[in-house]
Amino acid sequence: MEQHQLVSELCRVQELVRELDLHLHSSSPSSVAQCRRLAAEIVALTDRSIAMAATTTPPCSGAPSPLSDAGSDHPQHPFNTSSPKKRKATARWHDQVRVTATGGADDDGHSWRKYGQKDILGARHPRAYYRCTHRNSQGCPATKQVQRTDNDAGVFDVVYHGEHTCRPSVPRRQNPSQQQQHNPGAESLLQGLAARLTVATDAVGVAVPPMTPPESCPARGAASPWSLASPIGSDGYGGDLQEAVSAFAMHQTLDAAEFMQQENYFGFDYQSFDMDPMPSLFFQ
């Protein structure tokens, strides 16, 4: 089954990213080399995944992506392409993310409060509903849904709904004055990587875009990071992923400490989701 293989490949990528993270926390020369090796392996895997996705599904014919969905008068639920059910006429799905390495409850720079959980018909795992913690205090309308995928419990579908209007909690970023001085090229590459970390397919609906950054981030423009990132290419697939990762691998000359200082690096930590620790890698 092509889809299953695709998911397996992406799960392997997830494992490699986790391993990469461990090495990134070490500044030893051997870890840098190991990071490069891991990045090269990620390149190969993502290359295969992209090719697999291209042969498995047509380009975004009906998949509700953050981009294609915008402006639609009939938003469709990202996880149920057959029977969309919207409660509010004004509701509109904003971002669909399949995160290969996140539980995503409160680790994207915003704090979330869980307000519900539902067993979804045909899904192996329940769907959890979160809203912004500042909903009452600041009227922030942002919500998100998190659901384990059927194929791999380590992969989550995350749907963001609505824009944050609140002032989020302080992100895990360092002094801006220390940023952009070590390796501007690598920073640029990281930004490119973040923008291109997408594998979107119609049937599988896989997307790994950057998480919504904190409002205080200087790199955040006036527009949504999604519109800036253009995560889905004109062909409907994240065809630049390999290129971006490859460039990252070749130019990643930062040690762990420097990497953590990068403008685009938002955090890499673990959080509990159903008792399983899930790593989260955030870029913008």
Answer yes or no whether residue 118 interacts with DNA by CB under 7 A: yes
Q: How far is the CB of 272 from DNA (least distance, A)?
A: 9
Six-digit token string for 195:
């923008």
Pick the closer one to DNA by CB: 147 or 179: 147
Adjacent-strand bridge partners of 148:
156
Adjacent-strand bridge partners of 272:
277
Region of 60-68, 105-113, 175-183, 204-212 interacting with DNA (CB under 7 A): 105-113
Residues 220-239 touching DNA, rule: CB under 7 A, are none
Q: How far is the CB of 98 from DNA (least distance, A)?
A: 16
Q: How far is the CB of 194 from DNA (least distance, A)?
A: 26
d(CA 133, CA 162): 14
Answer yes or no whether residue 167 interacts with DNA by CB under 7 A: no
Residues 157-179 as b/e (b if ≥16 CB within 10 A, e otherwise) read bbbbbbebebebeebebeeeeeb
Region of 14-22, 125-133, 196-204, 255-263 interacting with DNA (CB under 7 A): 125-133
d(CA 19, CA 269): 13
Region of 119-127, 194-202, 204-212, 214-222 interacting with DNA (CB under 7 A): 119-127
Q: How far is the CB of 167 from DNA (least distance, A)?
A: 14
Answer yes or no whether residue 191 interacts with DNA by CB under 7 A: no
* Count of residues touching DNA (by CB under 7 A): 31
Contact pick of 25, 33, 91, 257 for DNA (by CB under 7 A): 91
**How many angstroms from the chain centroid is the CA of residue 19?**
17
Residues 47-82 as b/e (b if ≥16 CB within 10 A, e otherwise) read bbbbebbbebbebbeebbbbbbbeeeeebbbbbeee
Answer yes or no whether residue 122 interacts with DNA by CB under 7 A: yes
Answer yes or no whether residue 145 interacts with DNA by CB under 7 A: yes
Region of 16-24, 41-49, 106-114, 233-241 interacting with DNA (CB under 7 A): 106-114
Contact pick of 27, 31, 56, 80 for DNA (by CB under 7 A): 80
| Contact assessment for residue 115 and residue 161, using Cβ atoms and an 8 Å cutoff | no
Pick the closer one to DNA by CB: 12 or 127: 127
Contact pick of 22, 40, 51, 120 for DNA (by CB under 7 A): 120
Chain contacts with DNA (rule: CB under 7 A)? 77, 80, 83-89, 91, 105-106, 111-118, 120-122, 127-129, 131, 133, 143, 145, 161
